[in-house]
Chains A and B, each alone.
Chain A
Amino acid sequence: ETGVTQTPRHLVMGMTNKKSLKCEQHLGHNAMYWYKQSAKKPLELMFVYSLEERVENNSVPSRFSPECPNSSHLFLHLHTLQPEDSALYLCASSQEVQSIYGYTFGSGTRLTVV
């Protein structure tokens, strides 16, 4: 275990469903991130949170809605997704948002939209 826990590990949802991805970190970090990983593409940064405040939103469609109730928890709420949204969604954390150190990743949620 890396100290960053994601649930569920796998999710299949229809285009009209609403679901949420959960991330929890036990590292005492102050920054948390959502990344999307699609085949043959680099990891795409979606959202950045610093101490529960969203500090970056990389032009992500509104069908993805993040929530950070405290510095240890991060959610990604999903609704009316498209098949092209099928991907591995990774949560990560770091000591600070301006940290020069690397990120610690969770195990990811494999999302399939049907």
Chain B
Amino acid sequence: QKEVEQNSGPLSVPEGAIASLNCTYSDRVSQSFFWYRQYSGKSPELIMSIYSNGDKEDGRFTAQLNKASQYVSLLIRDSQPSDSATYLCAVNGLGGATNKLIFGTGTLLAVQP
């Protein structure tokens, strides 16, 4: 089983719609969860972090965490063509000398004008 799983997409939504991106993880003791946005040919950019169960909102972005189900999601309201990118889910994994980040393969989001 992959440590962090995401649907690779592409996820296509019309402009103005809500985009819903999902991620599951295997390590039950994970404590920190992140969403990164990566435009084609660019580096990942941190857009959201969440540490406790429930919802966390920041502008048009809402991160949702359910530790019991080992599930984290990202909602993008009023999607814009500029939101088109790959969204990487990352989970802070315990073990070894570091709390290293484990990444999923990413979900490609395409917002259609």
A contact set with B: CB distance below 8 Å: 2, 31, 33, 40-43, 45, 48, 50, 55-56, 90, 97-108, 110
Contact = CB atoms under 8 A, between A and B. Distances in A.
Interface in B1-35: 2, 4, 8, 31-32, 34
Contacts of B60: none
A48 B49 contact: no
A40 B105 contact: yes
A48 B46 contact: no
29 contacts: A2-B43, A2-B45, A33-B100, A41-B105, A42-B4, A42-B106, A43-B44, A43-B88, A43-B103, A45-B100, A48-B97, A55-B98, A56-B97, A56-B98, A90-B43, A90-B44, A97-B97, A98-B98, A100-B99, A102-B32, A102-B34, A102-B49, A102-B101, A103-B101, A105-B43, A106-B43, A107-B42, A108-B42, A108-B43
Contacts, number: 65
Contacts of B31: 100
Interface string B70-106: 0000000000000000001010100011111111111
A109 B8 CA distance: 24
B98 to A, nearest CB: 5
Contacts of A31: 98
A97 B99 contact: yes
Given A42-B4, A42-B104, A56 B44 contact: no
Contacts of A48: 97-98, 100
A97 B10 CA distance: 33
Contacts of B36: 102, 105
Contacts of B92: 100
A90 B45 CA distance: 12
